[in-house]
Amino acid sequence: MESGQVRAHVIVSGTVQGVAYRFSTVQEANRLGVNGWVRNLPDGRVEAVFEGTKTEVAAMVRWCHNGPQAAVVKDVAVKYEKPEGIQGFEIIR
């Protein structure tokens, strides 16, 4: 794995389920070239992991603060972790 890769583990709170948040996250991650995954949590939040360059991951985290048009984001909690070398971006269940 190339150096300079970072991993952000993100939990998004607010009105983020039933508003195409996961689908839009996949589109944005693919546009930015970020690897990882996104899923709904049982408590109504959305969890995601983003891996890529510091610039790419920072752009993805910034995007999470707004999300798709129908979303109402109240909080984005970010924890940086050691990258695992994930390839591609997917919705997991």
Q: Catalytic amino acids?
A: 22, 40
| Contact between residue 90 and residue 18 where contact means Cβ atoms under 8 Å apart | no
CA neighbor of 86 nearest in space, from 19, 28, 33, 22 = 33
Q: In what order do the strands lie in the sheet with 5-15?
A: 72-81, 5-15, 46-53, 35-40, 89-91
Q: What is the end-to-end Cα distance of the chain in Å, rounded?
A: 27
Q: Which two tokens stand for residue 37?
A: 């995954």
